[in-house]
Structure 1
Amino acid sequence: MTEFVDVVIVGAGISGISAAWHLQDRCPGKSYVILERRDNLGGTWDLFKYPGIRSDSDMFTLGFRFKPWTSDKAIADGPDIMAYLNETVAEYGIDKHIRYGQNVKSADWSDADNRWTVRVDRAGEEVEISARYLMACSGYYNYDEGYSPDFPGSEDFEGTLIHPQHWPEDLDYAGKRIVVIGSGATAVTLIPALANSGAGHVTMLQRSPTFIAALPDVDPFTVATNKRLPAKVAYVLNRWKSILQQSVQYQVARKFPDFFRKQLLTMAKHRLPEGYDVNKHFNPRYNPWDERVCLAPNGDLFKTIRAGKADVVTDTIERFTKTGIQLASGRHLDADIIVTATGLNLQLFGGATISRNGEAIELNDTMAYKGMLLTDMPNLAFTIGYTNASWTLKADLVSEFFCRIINYMDANSYDRVEPRHPGSSVDERPLMDFTPGYVLRALDYLPKAGSRAPWRLKQNYLMDLQLIRRGKVDDEALAFSRHPAQVTASA
């Protein structure tokens, strides 16, 4: 017998928890379940186990609007984030709606029935759940495998080869020589953590540099507000201070890239050994925020290099050898452990097949309305967070707006909503205005954005407050409709 609920939420990470809270708060009469493939909630924060795992967004914005983060420490590590998420779901009763070990294989929309049928693999047993609405909150990358280039000679390496997405919990790296390939957020996190917890020496091997900013993990403003003001007032102030600071920094970086570049390089130069080649190792070819600016809390990466526990090599790999990596320059890097911090593989909807009336929908043929609804996919919302700010800021906006849609449909007896494709009146653009490798590799797979609002977002939370939170639901770009044929729901 097919189970029926009003809303199926796929994924019990930050996005799924946000969706659940907003449904309970704004649509209290709606039934819902959260289907989580893994055995625990948390998504990214449960998956990654590598040393030092932390957020590079502050917790006043990575945390939820409805659940204050009360610590003075703005940059939190993985265990603290998981504790916060577990506390949140327990406090609001969301944990009672989460089902673990639920691998969503497909979702099919029926025009005749105005329902989604979600097919789930539950420990080898296939079950079906029917729902009026579907919220895809499973993030945007493949949890099964990270991205690893095909390195020549990798089979010859006699040491340990690891991708951070699959870090062995029992790995002994004490006294070992470690090479971390990559210079993104994972590498910037890993290197100080490894170097300061027993590794012999750590080398960051990069083909090209990444912008890295040093910020304190505890902000004096936060300490003062938490000490002098009621907790909720302090949280609002800390949150908005972070939002405005991020927004201003991003706008300055985009409008005055040379100025912003100079500030970051000066910051690095002051923290690195005298005479260090900052330009070679920390000055990318691209402009700030063409790719994400990485965060080094308290300048930990620079301190580790200055202390002689780690170094940076900017070069290209010729091949792996039995004992390490041979570089194009002729230099050889000896290694006992090689970590390929080379990025992610993008994947929407957790890899599930999405179809309409039994016919598969190609994501690349769809266009995203406000970055959250897709053409040809009725009654469905998906969440992709900001690339230049906290994921949660966008997740909360998506959840709010979709709840407003549900309430509007109920008030007007509608049972279906889908964006009208604007056709040739809007030029197609990439969904993500961002150029790291993992996005470029997936452009032929991802939905499209448009050349103007509401089909294009500008990665700007303050603008999205107007467009999404305060934007009208009965938008001409959305097609609301009523259909007399209804299925009898099976409880």
Structure 2
Amino acid sequence: MSAVPFPSDEKPLDVLIVGAGLSGIGTACWLQTECPDKQYAILEARDTIGGTWDLFRYPGIRSDSDMHTLGYVFKPWSKPKAIADGESIRQYIEETAREYGVTQHIHFGYKVVAAAWSSEQACWTLEAEHRATGDRHTVRARFLCMCSGYYSYEEAYRPTFAGENDFEGLIVLPQFWPKDLDYTGKRVVVVGSGATAVTLVPAMASSAAHVTMLQRSPTYIVALPSQDTVAQGLRRLLPERMAYGLTRWKNLTLSMLTFRIARGLPAFTRQRIVRMAAEQLGPDYAVDTHFRPRYNPWDQRLCVVPDGDLFQAIREGKASVVTDEIDQFTPTGLKLRSGEELPADVVVLATGLTIKLLGGMQLTVDGQVCQANQLMMYKGMMLSDVPNFAIAFGYTNASWTLKTDLTAGYVCRLLRYMDQHNHAIAVPRREADVQPQPLLNFTSGYVQRAGSVLPQQGSRRPWQVYQNYLQDMLTIRFGRINDGVMQFGPAGGLP
């Protein structure tokens, strides 16, 4: 991408967006449409648009949500595959940025290292470091939108194992996939059973000698068609935007319904998902050993395999699943706790992410350092007692963009409300009687490891995080801005 000069700090921007991934580009498009008079800029630490969908380049990288809900509400997804590959998603984000005139507002290569709020000035001052030169720059903005995601781009979760130095093969992390890695005809072991692992296994199995997915315990895995035939039929009959909207609501309704059934009838749902795996793999396969998790459905995120590609690779003998734990590496592979040895030329550690909120930057309000884990999320998108600030944080049980679209729309509503009433400051004030609760009710390892990083949610609205699009839409898109919790005031501080 061509360089855009860094914005001057002589006059504050109306809005500064941090991150040019799916959330950041979407937020900018909302501003362009709903608040066309606002001056904004985007700071992006990397040199390209796309965020996650540009960073991850491992074999088979794709969404695990359908693109009719992962796509923006204002930009129809028009490609045949609803469960899309990473490159197609990156192109979609880039195309959206061009169409809405967002690209010219992006300043690449700038990592925000600190953001300081001044109530006296009703303004944020951000310090950004140019990653290539190390030069520091400052920029001021009246409102700050954090769209930098929730995990570290520089560090994956990487457990260590005994004997790694003895291993004569190659150890690879999906987040930092080597461009020149040739695994043709090689024995591959993928350690993990989450979305990354179930994507890698069938993709690598097409050319590797054999791929083994080594898991400590099973994950719920569901096969879904990669193409949405209803969506294709609607596109033939209706205008594109109408067809997209109807497909979107069809998929939303189905996902909310299946989630409610899963949480309300966990035993039934568990049996159904395991039975579906058995139907894919045949009566002689040890489904209970490898595909029956110990936890209830949606205690962790379900994994989707498009067109059952993982099951197909197993049926064809190109891939296999082993449920066991690593005892140590050996020169030629892995020795397991059971005593079994897995031969390997390449070991892929698909062991998860490292949670990192706000891109790791330091946040201060009137000179006081803010610790995210001491703050409470307001409507799942703002932080308690942090003025003029919003954070894009998507759903764990549905498509990420569903929530970030709502958040961006709310920010536009809030900015217009502040203009209409001549307010310079808007801040959700934490209420003393609201009891803190964990932000995410998930047992996934990356969530459990992030207890000291993530903010809290509250025991009642508007501090609860619903993980439900319909509830959030009613609250965020149609609820009152001045709800008694959000406090407003002039520059200089609240009365």
TM-score by length of 2: 0.96
Report the residue type matching 1:398 in the other structure.
T
Determine if the alignment matches structure 1 residue 193 to structure 2 residue 203.
Answer: yes
SS of the residue corresponding to residue 173 of structure 1 reads coil
Q: Which residue, 465, 468, 487 being the options, matches 1:457? A: 465
Q: Which residue, 26, 29, 36 being the options, matches 1:28? A: 36
Q: Distance in 2 between matches of 1:292 and 1:322?
A: 35
Determine if the alignment matches structure 1 residue 120 to structure 2 residue 128.
Answer: yes
What are the superposed Cα offsets for residues 312-334 of structure 1, whole Å, 9 maximum, x if unpaired?
00001111111111100000111
Q: Distance in 2 between matches of 1:317 and 1:127?
A: 47
Q: Distance in 2 between matches of 1:365 and 1:33?
A: 29
Q: Percent identity?
A: 52
Query: Pairwise mapping of residues 62-73 of structure 1 onto structure 2 (< 5 A)?
Result: 62-73=70-81
SS of the residue corresponding to residue 387 of structure 1 reads coil
8 Å CA contact 1:186–1:341 kept in 2: the answer is yes
Q: Which runs of 4+ in 1 moved over 2 A?
A: 1-4
Q: Which residue, 301, 320, 323 being the options, matches 1:314? A: 323
8 Å CA contact 1:292–1:387 kept in 2: the answer is yes
Query: Pairwise mapping of residues 297-376 of structure 1 onto structure 2 (< 5 A)?
Result: 297-376=306-385
Report the residue type matching 2:198 in the other structure.
V
Aligned to 1:162: 172
8 Å CA contact 1:141–1:348 kept in 2: the answer is yes
Determine if the alignment matches structure 1 residue 257 to structure 2 residue 266.
Answer: yes
Aligned to 2:246: 237
Q: Distance in 1 between matches of 2:222 and 2:9?
A: 52
Aligned to 1:434: 442
Q: Report the CA distance between 1:422 and its aligned residue.
A: 1.2
Q: Distance in 2 between matches of 1:401 and 1:194?
A: 42
What are the superposed Cα offsets for residues 281-319 of structure 1, whole Å, 9 maximum, x if unpaired?
011111000000000101110010000000000001111
What are the superposed Cα offsets for residues 208-252 of structure 1, whole Å, 9 maximum, x if unpaired?
000001000112212211122221111111111111111111111
What are the superposed Cα offsets for residues 360-407 of structure 1, whole Å, 9 maximum, x if unpaired?
211111111011111121100001100011001000000011111111
SS of the residue corresponding to residue 74 of structure 1 reads coil
Report the residue type matching 1:421 in the other structure.
R
Q: Distance in 2 between matches of 1:151 and 1:227?
A: 54
Aligned to 1:2: 9
Aligned to 2:485: 477
Aligned to 2:108: 100
Determine if the alignment matches structure 1 residue 137 to structure 2 residue 147.
Answer: yes
Q: Distance in 1 between matches of 2:91 and 2:24?
A: 16
Q: Which residue, 38, 41, 51 being the options, matches 2:49? A: 41
Report the residue type matching 2:106 in the other structure.
I
8 Å CA contact 1:212–1:264 kept in 2: the answer is yes
Report the residue type matching 2:183 in the other structure.
Y
Q: Structure 1: state its 5+ residue gaps.
A: 486-491
Q: Structure 2: state its 5+ residue gaps.
A: 1-7
8 Å CA contact 1:72–1:226 kept in 2: the answer is no
Report the residue type matching 1:46 in the other structure.
D
Determine if the alignment matches structure 1 residue 60 to structure 2 residue 60.
Answer: no
SS of the residue corresponding to residue 151 of structure 2 reads coil
Q: Distance in 2 between matches of 1:228 and 1:30?
A: 38
Q: Which residue, 234, 237, 243 being the options, matches 1:225? A: 234
Determine if the alignment matches structure 1 residue 76 to structure 2 residue 92.
Answer: no
Residues 1:484 and 1:104: Cα distance change in structure 2 (over 3 Å): closer
Q: Distance in 2 between matches of 1:153 and 1:135?
A: 45
Q: Which residue, 180, 184, 193 being the options, matches 1:183? A: 193
Q: Distance in 2 between matches of 1:95 and 1:381?
A: 21
Determine if the alignment matches structure 1 residue 394 to structure 2 residue 418.
Answer: no
SS of the residue corresponding to residue 142 of structure 1 reads strand
Q: Distance in 2 between matches of 1:384 and 1:166?
A: 24
Report the residue type matching 2:9 in the other structure.
T
8 Å CA contact 1:179–1:338 kept in 2: the answer is yes
Report the residue type matching 1:451 in the other structure.
S
Aligned to 2:5: none
Q: Which residue, 449, 456, 466 being the options, matches 1:448? A: 456
Q: Report the CA distance between 1:207 and its aligned residue.
A: 0.2
Q: Report the CA distance between 1:81 and its aligned residue.
A: 0.7
Q: Distance in 2 between matches of 1:390 and 1:171?
A: 31
SS of the residue corresponding to residue 118 of structure 1 reads strand
Determine if the alignment matches structure 1 residue 172 to structure 2 residue 179.
Answer: no
Q: Report the CA distance between 1:273 and its aligned residue.
A: 3.7
SS of the residue corresponding to residue 97 of structure 2 reads helix
Q: Distance in 2 between matches of 1:94 and 1:433?
A: 35
Q: Report the CA distance between 1:460 and its aligned residue.
A: 0.5
Q: Distance in 1 between matches of 2:298 and 2:366?
A: 41
What are the superposed Cα offsets for residues 24-63 of structure 1, whole Å, 9 maximum, x if unpaired?
1111111000100001011000000000000010010111
RMSD of aligned Cα (Å): 1.2
8 Å CA contact 1:177–1:202 kept in 2: the answer is yes
What are the superposed Cα offsets for residues 154-174 of structure 1, whole Å, 9 maximum, x if unpaired?
222121001100000110100
SS of the residue corresponding to residue 106 of structure 1 reads strand
Q: Distance in 1 between matches of 2:239 and 2:365?
A: 51
TM-score by length of 1: 0.97
8 Å CA contact 1:415–1:483 kept in 2: the answer is yes
SS of the residue corresponding to residue 284 of structure 1 reads coil
Q: Report the CA distance between 1:484 and its aligned residue.
A: 5.3
SS of the residue corresponding to residue 143 of structure 1 reads strand
Q: Distance in 2 between matches of 1:359 and 1:37?
A: 25
Report the residue type matching 2:71 in the other structure.
G
Aligned to 1:109: 117
